[in-house]
Structure 1
C-alpha cells in the first residue's frame, strides 16, 4: 500500500498512553461489564455517571448490610466529590423513586434506603451496561463531547479519568476507548497530532466537523448518517433529472441510464484494503461470532465498496467491530495503515 507514511512510533505511544491511563483509572473504578440483551424502557439515569454509579453502589451496600440506611456522603467521598453533593444526589434519587430518605431535624438528608424501584433500576442498568452497541455509540458521543470541552489538543488517555467515561454506571474499557478514537478519526470528527517534541505523547483534537456535530446537537451516528445522505444528489444533466446516489463514480438516473462523475472510489485502493483486511484477520483475536461478522463485512465491502454511501456504512461497521484490534495490530504496521487507507476512501 504505497503512498501512506505512517508514524508507527507515535501510534505505539498513543496506544500505550491510553492503556496506561486506563490502568490507573481502573484502580480507582473497578470495571464490571455484565452480559445482558433484554433492554426494557428506562429512565435515562444511565446517561448520568454519578446517579447510575450511586445506584450500583447502594445495591452493593444493601447486599452487604441488609435493612440499613446508607450515607451518601460515603459515596461522594469515594468519588472525590464535595460532601454537599451528597444531599443533592439523594434528593435526585428520591425524585426518581429509587430511594427513601431518612430525614432528621438537623437537616442531614443524606441517609437513604434503596427502594424496590431502585433495585429494578439497578437490574436495568446492568443489562444496559452489557449491550455492546449502546456502549459503542455512547463512548463515541462522550469522547467527542469531552474533546470539544477541552478546547485544545489533549492526550486521549486522560479521557479515562473523566466522570463522563462511564455508561450505565460502568467504566469504558480500554478497547472501547481505542475503538472510539479510531471511529472519530476515521469519520473526520477528530484528528491525531504529534506532541510538542519527540518525547511528548500523541495528542487528539476535535476537528471542525466534530465541532459542527456537537454544536448542532447531533450524536456521532446521526451526524455521520446525515453526511452520507448529503452525498445522494438530484441534478439536471442536459434536461435529464438524476435522483440517486453515487456508485463508484457513476450516478444512477433511476431508469437504468448512468452518468459518470468525478467522485469515484479508487478500485485499486479498495482492492488493497479488502486484501489487507483479510490478511490481518487471523491476528485480530476476534471471537468466533465477531470473526464471522468481520468476514461477512469484508466480503460486503469487496462487493459494494465502490458505492461511497454503501461502502462508508460497511467500513464503519468494520471499524466498530475490529477498530481497536486493527489499531493495536501494528507489529508490522499493517493495522493502522488499513485504518488510514479506509478513512481516506470513505471520509
Structure 2
C-alpha cells in the first residue's frame, strides 16, 4: 500500500469504528482494526498532523490524535468519495490494465489473483472487491484492451490496443473515443526518404536509415496537462495561499515535468492539493473535473 493510502485507510477505519462524536483517536487500536503494520504509527501521526487533520496528544502506551474540525470534515468527504461507483470503476479500468502491462512476461500472461498484492488494490483508503475486479476485467475485454483466459485461474495480458493505450498516457474515455473518430492529422506524407506519421506537431519522423526521432509527444502531453490544471484551478474553491501554491507547482511542473523525478515530485504536491479540494471545498460539478484531472496526472506520472 502506498504511504498516502495508509493514511487514508487509517482515517476511513477511524470513522467506521469510533463513536460518531469521538474526538480522541487511539492510533494503535485503529491501526490494528485497519490491518496497518505497527511500524507505520509515526508516519500516520506525522502525516495527519502535517495535513492539519489532527493534533497529537501523546499517551503512555500509544499516540493519540485529536480530530480537528477540518480534519473530520476531510475524512468524512474522503470516505464518501471512496465509495462512489463511477470513480472506483474508472480507477480499476486504468489500474488493472497498467498492472497487466507491467506484470505480463513476453509471450505470457499474468494471473489476476496477484492484483490483490498491488498498491492499486486500494482506492482512497478502501480495498476494491473481487466482484469489482471481475467487472473491470470483463469491461476491458469487451473494449478490446485485454485478452482473458478463463479457467481454474484467470490469466490476462494486454492486447495491442491495450498497450497502445498505456503508451498514449491518455484518459481511457478519450482514448476509446478517438479510436472511432476519423483522423484529422496527416496519415502518411512521403518526402524523399522521410515519412511523417500523425499530426506534424508532436509527431514521429522515421528516416530512410530506420532511425526514429521523437519530436516531443511527451512534451505535448505535458503541455496539455498543464492547460487542464489551469482550467480546473479556478473551480477548486481554494484559499488564496493554496491557490498560489498550486499555481507555483503547475509552473514548476511545466518547466521541469519532462524529467521523471522532477515531474513526480511536482505531481505529488499538486495531487495532494486536488485531493484536499475534492474532500472539502469542491462543488459537485467541479468534482468530476478533479477526478478527470487526477486520472490524467496519474497516467502521466504514476
TM-score, normalisation: structure 1: 0.44
Tell which structure's C-alpha radius of gyration is larger. 1
TM-score, normalisation: structure 2: 0.49
